[in-house]
Structure 1
Amino acid sequence: MSRPAPAKRQQSPSSATSAEGAWAAKMDRLRRRARPQNTLRICDDDQLRRRFEETEQAARRARFVAEANAGDEQAARQAADAAAAHEDARTALDAASEFLTFRALPRPVLEELIAQHPPTEKQTGEGAIFNSDTFPAALVSAASMDGMSWEEAEELLNTWSAPDANALWEAAWQVQQESRVDLGKD
C-alpha cells in the first residue's frame, strides 16, 4: 500500500517574499566575496630577519610570563617593552622588504590556464596535470596583483636560488588551493 504524499505547507505571500529577499541578500554577499590573497615577503637582510624572529620569541615569552603573573607590574611592563621592540623590528623588516601579492584566480580561469600548459608525455606518465616547465611562470604572472609579466615571472623562477624560486611558485600556487568554506562539521 502506498502512503499518501505529505501535505505541502502553504507559505504566506509575505513569508515567501521575505525568504526570497533573504536569499537575494545572501547571494549578493556570496557574489561580493573577495578571492583569497597571499603575500610573499622578500628580504635579503639576514640581520633584520633574525632580529624580528628574536623579538617575536621574546615578546611571546614576556606575554606568557605577564599572563601567568597577573597583577605583576614589572612583568606587564616587560611584556609591553618586548611587544614594542617586536613592533620596531617589524617596521624595520617591512621597510627593507619587497612584497609580492598573489590572488586566487576564478576556477574557470585557472582551469583554462592549466589547459594551456598540458603536461608532456613523460610528465603525464609521472601523474602531472600541467607542464611543470611552462605553467609556473604563467600562474605566477596570472595570479600576480603587482602586474608581473610572464617573462618577468620566468626570469625570477629561472635566476633565483631553488628555495627562493620555490617560495615564489608556492605563493602563487597555494592561494589557488586555499578554501574558506566549511562543510559544517563540528
Structure 2
Amino acid sequence: MNAFTLRTLCTAAALAASGIAFVGCTTTRPDDRASSTSSRTSIDAQVDATLSKLYDTVPDAREMVGKSRGVLVFPSVVGGSLGIGAEYGRGALRVNGRTVAYYSTTAGSIGFQAGAHSRAVIYLFTTQEALDTFRKSKGWTAGADASVAAATMGANGRIDTNTMRQPVIGFVLTNLGLEAGVSLQGAKITEVRV
C-alpha cells in the first residue's frame, strides 16, 4: 500500500469517526421535555463546576467574571484527530449570573496530529458591544467575528493587564490548569435548543 492510499484511508477513517461522534452528541429528540430539562440541568451544573475550577486556578478570574457583561462556558470540549482533527462541546451563556442561552462549539484542523483531548473553554465578553455582537450573530466564529485574547499569566502569577483590557477574553483549562499559548481562532459557536 503506498503512502497516498494510506493517507486517504486514514483521512476517511478520521472523518467517519468524527461524524459518528457528532451524531451521537445530537440524538436527543426535541419533543422530549424531561430529557431537555435534564440536559439543561446537567450543563448548568457542569458550568458551575468549571467556573469554580477557573476561580481556583486563576487568581483574577472571579473579579473578571463579575465585571464582564457575559460569560460563555463550555465545560467539556472534546476533540480527536488522526490527520484531520475535530472538536465539539456544549455550554451555556450567563449574563448577570444566570443562564440565558445554550450553545455548541465546533472546530476542525488539518495537519500532522493524532490523539484525543478534553478541555474547558471559557469566553468573557468584557464590553456590552462584544456581547451584543455575539448574541445577534447566527453563528459566531472566534477570530473572524471577533478577536479573542487568550488569557495569559504574568510573571507575578496574575492575568496580564493587556489581556484584561480586551473585549473578548478566552480561557482554556485542562486537568493540569490554565493552558498557555493556545489559539481559539476558528471555533464556530452556534446557539442550540437543549
Say whether the fold is shared (TM-score over 0.5).
no
Larger Rg: 1
Q: Which has the higher strand share?
A: 2
Q: Which has the higher helix share?
A: 1
TM-score normalised over the length of structure 2: 0.21
TM-score normalised over the length of structure 1: 0.22
